[in-house]
Structure 1
Amino acid sequence: MLYTTPRSTEDALRWQQLRIGSAAWEGWPLKFQRMAFGYYEESGWLTAAEGLNWMREHDRLSLSTPPRGGLAWFESNDRVTVFCGVGDGRVIGPGVAGVVGLAVQTDLTGYRGWSPAVFPFAR
């Protein structure tokens, strides 16, 4: 099934790159990604953990390197966070410290897989 988002992948990545260095998104990795892709109302998931569980239940996770625009899910110490694939194994989003930045996917712990940028309940 093909999913489209209000913002294209390239526009979503530009939106995120403009926020590199911002600590305003601490604790809101899912909201950050949802808004990057152009959804401004809640996704229907209260936490990134709920989003990851939905992706698992709907067989949307792939264990390969996240492609450009794919949501990269991480789970470590009972904390789930989500980044966006930039390409070449890099991801962008609010990291564990809550500051938006770029990271290499393999340098982060707890990779659970990537999914398409799907927010099935968002508007």
Structure 2
Amino acid sequence: MITDATPRSAEEALRWQLRRIGSSAWEGWALRFQRLAFGYASEAGWRHCSEGLAWFTEHDLVSDGTPPRGALAWFEVGGRVTVRGSLGDGQVIGPGVDGRIGVIAHDTLGRYLGWTPAIFPFAR
């Protein structure tokens, strides 16, 4: 069963992420960063962001337009799929902003692929 209930609310997840701005410890771990932000300790079931996006695509859960606050925003950067948390108003947060956790306009990160609800169906 697919549910959008997560251990942490979207607001709690965004606060968790904002407290880590400037950290370089998460570089290369965009999916793990989002999973942990939403309160899951175990792996998401996807090794790479591209696998996560493929799952959302197969379940018809990818939307166009500016991602709403608390959604997962998906991008292609340097030929690889990556994910960030949406702060709303066109801003996203996650690793990869000058090698650190940072906030960036969603339309400047890379090729925008769409947004999905913050669902981690295989994480515990």
| Both structures adopt the same fold (TM-score exceeding 0.5) | yes
* Superposed CA RMSD: 1.2
**Structure 2 equivalent of residue 115 of structure 1:** 116
| Equivalent pair of 1:21/1:99 in contact (CA under 8 Å) | yes
**Structure 2 equivalent of residue 49 of structure 1:** 50
Unmatched tracts of structure 1, length 5 or more: none
Residue 100 of structure 1 aligns to which amino acid in structure 2?
A: I
| Equivalent pair of 1:43/1:120 in contact (CA under 8 Å) | yes
Q: List aligned pairs for 1:1-123, cutoff 5 A.
A: 2-95=3-96, 97-123=98-124
Q: What is the alpha-carbon distance in structure 2 between the residues aligned to residue 97 and residue 47 of structure 1?
A: 21
What percentage of aligned pairs have identical amino acids? 60
Unmatched tracts of structure 2, length 5 or more: none
CA deviations on 1:47-93 (whole Å, 9 max, x unpaired) are 11111111111111111100000000001332111001101110001
| Equivalent pair of 2:3/2:121 in contact (CA under 8 Å) | no
Q: What is the alpha-carbon distance in structure 1 between the residues aligned to residue 3 and residue 40 of structure 2?
A: 17
Q: What is the alpha-carbon distance in structure 1 between the residues aligned to residue 48 and residue 7 of structure 2?
A: 21
TM norm structure 2:
0.94
Q: What is the alpha-carbon distance in structure 2 between the residues aligned to residue 22 and residue 96 of structure 1?
A: 10
CA deviations on 1:8-64 (whole Å, 9 max, x unpaired) are 111100000000000100110000000000001001000111111111111111111
Q: Secondary structure at the match of 1:117?
A: coil
Q: What is the alpha-carbon distance in structure 1 between the residues aligned to residue 33 and residue 76 of structure 2?
A: 17
